[in-house]
Amino acid sequence: MFVGHFAVGLLAKKNEDQPSLAMMFIAVQLLDLLWPVFILLGIETMSIDPGNTRLTHLDFEYYPYSHSLLMAIVWSLALGLGYFLFTKNKNGSMLLGALVFSHWILDLITHRPDLPLSPFTDIKVGFGLWNYPVVEIILELLIFGLGAFLYYKSPCFKRKIAFLLLMAFLLIVHLMNLFGPPPPDTMAVAWSANLMWLIVLWAWWIERKPPTRSSP
């Protein structure tokens, strides 16, 4: 799942009193922001395996520090607590923590049984929706479309064209992931995954208030 995670962030943003959309995107994708770093450092491993599921070319061999149930809870608490220490926004902190954990729940639904419960056990879980591509694609696109529509109707952002371009970009990347050829190697996947920080910056820019013009 890719745009489905971002859809949760879009659906969660209802007013300007909440954390920024950039923070929402960090929260919903925190596990996938940590994962490529751990791959590059050799802490976690993956391989290219076309047909691993009917929708993916990747075999997530070992990623308990970014994607286990236990560590998802830890990362949820860490982001929520960190946000609270800087902002004193209790409700926003709880929301961000919940959004971090939402990533694991969505992965549980889509992944085959490759999600570890903790770094200290070999038990892995996953419901395998990726093996039912028509259902998964329709469901994920419907959620993404709903999130984009509701956010577009909200008063939270200042740059409508930039927002529409971001939604189009996310959709194109998602379709390339679904229907494109397998990536050349694992390092290419890890390095390209770090580009998600550009999406975070894009979301920050969308909500940034335009500078006020001084009167002559």
Looking at the DSSP assignment, which residues form a beta bridge with residue 92? none
DSSP labels, 81-130: HHHHHHH--HHHHHHHHHHHHHHHHHHHHHS-S-EES-TT---EE---GG
**For residue 38, what is the enclosing H or E element?**
helix 30-40
**pLDDT value for 211:** 62
The 10s digit of each residue's pLDDT in 18-51 is: 999 999 999 999 999 999 999 999 999 999 998 8
Cα–Cα distance for residue pair 95/5, rounded to 1 Å: 15
Distance of alpha carbon 99 from its chain centroid, rounded?
Answer: 9
**Nearest-angstrom CA–CA distance, 125 and 96:** 24
Q: pTM to 2 decimals?
A: 0.93
Tell how far CA 21 is from the center of its chain.
Answer: 12
CB 55 within 8 A of CB 126: no
Q: Mean pLDDT in each 10-residue stretch from start to end of the chain (216 residues)?
A: 93 89 96 96 94 89 97 98 95 97 97 96 96 95 95 81 94 90 87 93 86 54
> What's the rounded Cα separation, in Å, for the pair 36 and 43?
10
